[in-house]
Amino acid sequence: MQLFHTLRELRAFLDSRSDQRVGFVPTMGNLHAGHCQLVTLAKSHADLVVVSIFVNPLQFGANEDFGSYPRTLESDCEKLQSVGADVVFAPAVEEIYPDFDGRDLHQQIVIQPPPLADDLCGASRPGHFAGVATVVAKLFNMVKPQVAVFGKKDYQQLMVIRALVRQLNFDIEIIAGDTVREPSGLAMSSRNGYLTAAEKSQASQLQQQLLSMKNALLGGRRDYAELCEQASLQLKQQGWQVDYVEIRRQHALTLPNAQTRDWVILAAARLGKTRLIDNCEVSM
C-alpha cells in the first residue's frame, strides 16, 4: 500500500497505472469497520482503490469539533492495509486549499449545492454541505476515479454528492454502501468515540425509534408529521436533544405524498455532547 501526502506524488503514481479502473473512498480518518466495508465495496468495482484521509476545515462550523476531531493516520493506514487499499492520500490543508495561509482559508470558489443541502442537517449546519461539495469536487479532480463509494449513514450527503456528479457532469459512478452497525444497532461513526460508556449503551435508542416508525409505515400509517412528533418526543423524554426526525422520499428527500412508496426516515439528535445521525429506508 502506498501513502502519499502531495498531489504531485499521487498523480505520478496514478499516471503510471492509467490502464486501471480507479475506485475512490473519501474519508476524514479515524476509521472504523464501516469505512473498511466501503473500501471492500470499492475493490469489487475497481482495479485500484484510493482512500483519502483529510479533515476538511471548510465543512466545519465555527463552534464545531474541527480542532478536536481525531487524527489517527497510523492506525487508519493499518486498517486500510488489512482490507487491501492500494493508495492512501493524506494531504495537508495547503495541498487541498492552495491559498491557505497557515491560519485562514481563502477559498473563494465554493460549490453551491442544491436546495436539499439547506434542509435537515443543513438547516442547523449552514455552509456544511457547500464545504462537503467543494472538497469532494476537488478530490474528484485530483484522484480522477471511475467509481466512488459513499456510505448511506450520511444519507443527505450521499444525495448531495449524486447531485454534484450529475449537475457538474463528472464521469464517475457513485455507489452507496450500507450502514454498518454496532451489535446494539448503533450506526458506526467516527464520533461515537465521544460517547461515554453510559451514553453508548443508550445510543441505540435512536435506531429503535426509526425502526418503530418503519413498522408504522409498513402497517399503513401515513400521518407523517404525527409519527415524527411522537418519535421526537420519546427521544426527548429519554434525554436526547433532538435536531430533527423527518420522513422523506428516498430519491429526492422531498416531503412524501399519497403516492409515495419509498421513504427514508432521517434523524439527528444530540446525546450529551455528541451529535448522532441515522436513517432507515422503507419500501413497499
> Which residues are part of the catalytic machinery?
35
Q: Which grid coordinates are listed for 43? A: 475493490
How does strand 274-283 pair with strand 262-271? antiparallel
Q: What residue has cell string 428516498?
A: 250
Q: Which residues pair with 271 in a beta bridge?
A: 274
**What residues contact residue 124 under an 8 Å CB cut-off, 6+ apart?**
243, 244, 268
d(CA 89, CA 26): 9
Residue 89 φ then ψ, to 5° = -110, 110
Q: What is the dihedral of CA 146, 151, 154, 157, to 10 degrees?
A: 10
Angle at 32 between CA 27 and CA 34, to 5 degrees: 80
- Check if the beta carbon of residue 101 is closer than 8 Å to that of residue 11: no
